[in-house]
Structure 1
Amino acid sequence: MDEMIVTTTEHVPGYRVVKVLGIARGATVRAKHIGKDILAGLRNIAGGEVKEYTEMLAEAREIALQRMVEHAREMGANGVINVRFMTSSVASGAAEIFAYGTAVVLEKE
């Protein structure tokens, strides 16, 4: 079971769901270094994209997604369908990213 199919859809073309294993999830909380936080604050005053936070959240999404896939593998899944992300601020400059979906066993049709 090397390949893990991860999708935001309910169905995977060419496969059928033979078993639903439950919710697979992964999360991380990330914060920027104080120096980058200061740069982000200055950028916020000037307006425009706050690249430091964009990068932080992109990294956090990848980590949360990887952890969700690991959790699904532990459950015996070879796929995760209906994948979603949730973001929440836990402190100034720190955010939690939560990835979740339905861990399933897929079989080729």
Structure 2
Amino acid sequence: MLLVNINHIPGKDIEVLGIVKGNVVQSKNVGRDIMAGVKGLVGGELTGYTEMLTEAREIATKRMIDEAEKMGADAILQVQFSSAAIMQGAAEIIAYGTAVKYK
């Protein structure tokens, strides 16, 4: 599945199938919270949170691709990611774009 953040695929005629999305709500664990508290005092990257968000983006992307494949898509255009705090200690990541089929 081709994923791009442009409006078209050069050299391809496409048929728009519709919007596809994938999301996940990921929570922090106690170990990451403790280390984040320490890092908050001394500064530096919160690698536990970085890893958590990277994993969440991968899950959301896979779910978006799965939805596009069910529609018979060849590619997803205008792929974007968004995140939001759902509650204390949990965040939602959503991946979305436009599923297209080559003509």
Q: TM-score, normalised by structure 1?
A: 0.87
Alignment match, 2:64:
68
Query: Which residue of 3, 13, 30 maps to 1:16?
Result: 13
Gaps of 5+ in 1: none
Alignment match, 1:27:
23
Gaps of 5+ in 2: none
Tell me whether 1:90 sits opposite 2:90 in the alignment.
no
- Give 1:97 deviation, angstroms: 0.3
Aligned length: 103
Of all paired residues, the percent bearing the same amino acid is: 48
Distance in 2 separating the partners of 1:92 and 1:54 = 17
Alpha carbon RMSD of aligned pairs, Å?
1.2
SS in 1 for 2:76: strand
Distance in 1 separating the partners of 2:88 and 2:101 = 40
Equivalent position amino acid for 1:104 in 2: V
SS in 2 for 1:77: coil
Distance in 1 separating the partners of 2:97 and 2:75 = 10
Once the two structures are superposed, residues 6-40 of structure 1 have per-residue CA deviations (whole angstroms, 9 ceiling, x without a partner) of 111112223221x1111000000111221221111
Alignment match, 1:44:
40
Query: Which residue of 6, 10, 18 maps to 2:3?
Result: 6
Equivalent position amino acid for 1:24 in 2: V
